[in-house]
Each structure stands twice: as C-alpha cells, then as structure tokens.
Amino acid sequence: MGILSGNPQDEPMHYGEVFSTWNFVMVANKDIADTQVLLNHAGDDDLKKLLQESIEAGKAAVKQVSELLKANGVALPPSAPEPPHADLNEIPPGARFPDPDIAATAAMALATGLVSCSQIMGQSIREDIAMMFGQFHLAKAALGAKYLKLTKEKGWLVPPPLHHYKSAEG
C-alpha cells in the first residue's frame, strides 16, 4: 500500500490544503455578506431568487468546509457580520445598485469562486477535499449559467464586440 492511500479522511491535510480551505471559508463568508447587501438593493424578483440561491449555496459550502477544518484541528476564520435588512424603497435612488450591476457583480463573484475551487482541487492530495471542491465547482458553474440566462432574458448582458466572420469562400 502506497503513502497516503488509506481512507482520505484519516490522512493529514497538507499546509496548502489547510490554507486554501481556511481562505475559502473567509472569502465565502465575505461573499455571503456582500450578496446579502446586494439582495437589499435588488428590485427584480427573478434576481432576488438567484441571489438567495447564491447565499444558501455559500452557507452550505462554508458549513461543509468549516466541518472539515474543525475535524482537522484548524481554527476557523472570523465571519463577516450579517448585514441588516433594508427596505428597497428607503434606499435613495443615487445610492441604490441597479439590477444589471447586481447581476454582473454576483456572476463575477461566482467566476472568482470557480477559479478558487479549481485551484484547491488541483493542489489537493486528499481525494475527499478534491471531490468536495469539485462539487462546489459544479454548483457554481450551474448557478453562473442561471445568471447568464437571466441577464440575457432581461436585456442586461453587455457583450464584448461580436465577431461575424465570413470567409471569402463562403
């Protein structure tokens, strides 16, 4: 039997896994709080549902990774305080985030999370950690696709210059 080839949960985490998972929890907690603020500003009901879905997915991931860290004797990072609920109608017009910007910001956070999950998957030597972040990666990609569809349907997508190339032969 080779080195570290038993039950992955009985194997120690290496320093990169410890730091990356700890950092993931810290960043995810901040992202959850940021998304809660965006939810306060959102007016579109479909966007609100996606933001709520993002918050719930983030909380589930934080819970799962926090349990991993605790089981391995790693202290958890501080979490961002939950922002208070705000009434959309009480936010002054100049201070309110518009729905297209909210959707773009949420999608950007998901894209950043995809990169983070990929990095943790790539550096992990424990299969259970790599699989956990593979699941988070798939969930983030699916949620990102929902944001893309929403931004297209609502007319909020700002595409880059589109390339319409036709060869001289065709």
DSSP secondary structure, 109-164, as one string = HHHHHHHHHHHHHHH--SHHHHHHHHHHHHHHHHHHHHHHHHHHHHT---PPPP--
Q: What is the pLDDT of residue 169?
A: 74
For the segment 6-25, the average pLDDT, to the nearest whole number, is 89
* 79 Cβ neighbours under 8 A, 6+ residues apart: 29, 62
For the segment 6-15, the average pLDDT, to the nearest whole number, is 81
> Lowest-confidence range among 97-101, 129-133, 135-139, 166-170?
166-170
**Tens of pLDDT, residues 34-90:** 999 999 999 999 999 999 999 999 999 999 999 999 999 999 999 888 899 999 999
Whether the model clears a pTM of 0.85, i.e. scores above it, the answer is: yes
> Are the C-beta atoms of 88 and 96 separated by less than 8 Å?
yes
- CA dist 122 → 42, 57, 119 (Å): 36, 22, 5
> Are the C-beta atoms of 17 and 120 separated by less than 8 Å?
yes
> Lowest-confidence range among 40-44, 103-107, 161-165?
161-165
d(CA 25, CA 62): 5
> Lowest-confidence range among 74-78, 118-122, 139-143, 165-169?
165-169
The pLDDT-based confidence of 5 (bands split at 50, 70, 90) is low
Structure tokens at 109: 């956070």
Closest CA to 8 of 128, 123, 122: 128
Predicted confidence (pLDDT) at residue 95 exceeds the cutoff of 60: yes
d(CA 126, CA 7): 9
Q: How far is CA 148 from the centre of its chain?
A: 15
Closest CA to 54 of 120, 116, 119, 103: 103
Q: What is the pLDDT of residue 130?
A: 97
d(CA 35, CA 55): 7
Predicted confidence (pLDDT) at residue 165 exceeds the cutoff of 70: yes
CATH number given to 13-73+97-154: 1.20.1260.10
Closest CA to 106 of 17, 14, 25, 37: 37
